[in-house]
């Protein structure tokens, strides 16, 4: 009979169906296996667990060449261990902490209750949920509808093949997943699936210090879609080469949003940041200190904002061009795809202290450093260089009230937005060095003032170089 310390017991389960490559390297130096072939009796003395049954002992890698140790999952709250993540979830109580031991887990995981799922250390590369051998389509981790208070941290989710970026993801929140925290998680190489996807309406979502890379099939790296999204924090992440877009809040509205200190490489995709329907009903919104590079159409898009938005301290560089021949922009404030709850005239955005460079277009379209349309914006203290046009203010009549014509045409507009009004904006203190025009104002009114007696309207805007 062999005594094994309790703190080393129950971390792994024997699986004879895989090859030795699945063994943790440190175990190959010598390990004890217990085959459950006869009845077993456990007892504990002085912190050791003893087993009354036969034990086979292996001391070399050659002796384990046809055997595999699969990592187990510990419930730190209940002090139990489980053979799979899903078994651990199914057995957990709300609020339990489930901890992965080092290794690879071939599972489609469904979270059905409030809990924490975490790797045992901060090295997320040691705890891998892998979809390579699983049937498709599927997501890595699905959070069921209205399951709240979930924390996922210190692990990797990779190689899950979905049917689209809107139906599958490395981590997929079906809807209503308030108080969701995802931190220090890698979401990698999920073809035809987003890295992270959640459906609104949703409140208090935090995605921080994550690596989101190479998610494909017109998918986003990080996206929250639909409804009213409140108290959203997406900060400190590295988001690289996701086939459509980097980080987006799509369709619907949002308030009290912070997107800051992220590093984004658009690659050949569409945009770095795309944020729709920001307003200040819950709190102000800050898009700050993000580093954005690559060759997409847009660095930062703020679509249909309704005030309380600051875009500051971002570096937005186009370093290579994708194949898209339409207009490009480093930072754009625009009207597009107006839905219920969205304003028709973008308003109330402050763009300050950003560095924008290299936004050019080789076709008959153009590249713009900063584009604004709508009312009551302030554009100040930005450095804009190497763009076809530095700062554009426009009121584009194209197709209104439908969306603008985005075709590659030779005109003076940014052919993606078409606010019916652009006025009362302050553009001052910027440093601009453009290829064609430093400043362009086209179709722009000069601020709306109404004489309440005669009902006459007057316009005003300020532009200072």
User: Going from the N-terminus, what domains does the chain have, and what CATH number goes with each?
Assistant: 3-64 (no CATH), 135-464 (2.160.20)
pLDDT value for 19: 37
What share of the chain in percent tops pLDDT 70?
A: 81
Rounded average pLDDT over 214-241: 95
pLDDT band at 61 (very low <50, low <70, confident <90, very high): very low
Distance CA(361)–CA(371), nearest Å, equals 15
pLDDT at position 459 is 52
pLDDT at position 463 is 60
Out of 47-51, 67-71, 260-264, 384-388, least confident range:
47-51
pLDDT above 90: residue 24: no
Mean of pLDDT over the chain: 86
Average the pLDDT over 97-125 and give the result: 98
- With cut-offs at 50, 70 and 90, classify the pLDDT of residue 93: very high
Q: Model-level pTM?
A: 0.84
Per-residue pLDDT at 68 exceeds 70: no
Q: What pLDDT, on the 0 to 100 scale, is given for residue 216?
A: 86
Token duo for residue 15:
């699986």
Whether the Cβ atoms of residue 414 and residue 392 lie closer than 8 Å to each other: yes
| Pairs from 164-167 (Cβ < 8 Å, separation ≥ 24) | 164/192, 164/193, 164/217, 164/218, 164/219, 165/192, 165/193, 165/194, 165/197, 165/215, 165/217, 165/218, 165/219, 165/220, 165/223, 165/243, 165/244, 166/194, 166/197, 166/225, 167/137
Among 275, 272, 319, smallest CA distance to 292 is for 272
Which position has the token pair 């389509």? 137
pLDDT at 268: 86
Give me the half-sphere count of Cα atoms (radius 13 Å) on the Cβ side of residue 152. 32
Stretch 176-188: mean pLDDT: 98
Task: Give the rounded percent of residues in the chain with a pLDDT score beyond 90.
Answer: 77
Partnered with residue 45 across adjacent β-strands are 48
**Residue 2 pLDDT > 50, yes or no?**
no
In this model, does residue 30 exceed pLDDT 60? no
Mean pLDDT, rounded, for 110-116? 98
**Tens digits of per-residue pLDDT, 339-374?**
999 999 999 999 999 999 999 999 999 999 999 999
Q: In the predicted model, what is the mean pLDDT of residues 39-59? A: 38
């Amino acid at each position: 009979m062999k005594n094994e310390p309790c703190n080393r017991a129950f971390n792994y389960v024997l699986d004879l169906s895989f090859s030795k490559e699945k063994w943790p390297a440190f175990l190959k130096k010598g390990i004890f296996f217990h085959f459950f072939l006869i009845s077993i009796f456990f007892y504990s003395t002085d912190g050791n667990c003893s087993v009354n049954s036969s034990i086979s002992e292996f001391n070399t890698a050659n002796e384990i060449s046809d055997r595999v140790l699969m990592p187990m999952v510990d419930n730190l709250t209940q002090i139990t261990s489980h053979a799979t993540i899903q078994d651990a979830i199914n057995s957990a109580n709300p609020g339990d902490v489930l901890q992965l031991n080092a290794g690879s887990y071939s599972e489609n995981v469904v979270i059905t209750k409030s809990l924490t799922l975490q790797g045992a250390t901060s090295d997320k590369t040691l705890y891998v949920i892998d979809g390579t051998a699983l049937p498709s389509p599927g997501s890595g981790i699905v959070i069921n509808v209205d399951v709240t208070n979930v924390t996922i941290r210190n692990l990797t989710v990779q190689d899950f093949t979905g049917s689209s970026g809107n139906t599958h993801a490395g981590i997929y929140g079906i809807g209503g997943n308030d108080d969701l925290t995802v931190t220090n998680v890698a979401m990698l190489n999920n073809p035809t699936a987003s890295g992270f996807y959640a459906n609104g309406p949703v409140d208090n979502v935090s995605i921080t210090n994550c690596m989101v890379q190479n998610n494909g099939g017109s998918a986003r790296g990080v996206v929250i879609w639909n409804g009213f999204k409140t108290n959203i924090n997406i900060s400190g992440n590295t988001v690289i080469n996701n086939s459509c877009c980097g980080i987006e809040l799509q369709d619907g509205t949002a308030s009290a949003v912070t997107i800051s200190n992220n590093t984004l490489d658009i690659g050949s995709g569409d945009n770095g940041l795309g944020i729709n329907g920001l307003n200040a009903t819950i709190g102000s919104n800050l898009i700050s200190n993000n580093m954005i590079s690559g060759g997409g159409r847009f660095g930062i898009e703020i679509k249909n904002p309704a005030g309380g938005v600051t875009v500051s301290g971002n570096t937005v560089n186009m370093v290579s061009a994708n194949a898209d021949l339409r207009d490009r922009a480093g930072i754009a404030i625009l009207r597009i795809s107006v839905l219920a709850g969205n304003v028709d005239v973008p308003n109330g955005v402050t763009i300050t202290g950003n560095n924008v460079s290299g936004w050019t277009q080789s076709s008959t379209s153009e590249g713009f450093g900063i584009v604004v349309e709508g009312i009551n914006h302030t554009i100040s203290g930005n450095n804009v260089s190497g763009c076809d046009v530095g700062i554009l203010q426009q009121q584009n009549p194209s197709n209104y009230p439908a969306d603008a014509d985005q075709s590659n045409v030779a005109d003076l507009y940014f052919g993606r937005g078409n606010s019916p009004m652009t006025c009362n904006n302050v553009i001052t203190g910027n440093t601009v060095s453009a290829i064609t025009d430093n400043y362009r104002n086209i179709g722009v009114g000069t601020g709306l003032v109404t004489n309440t007696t005669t009902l006459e309207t007057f316009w005003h805007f300020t532009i200072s170089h």
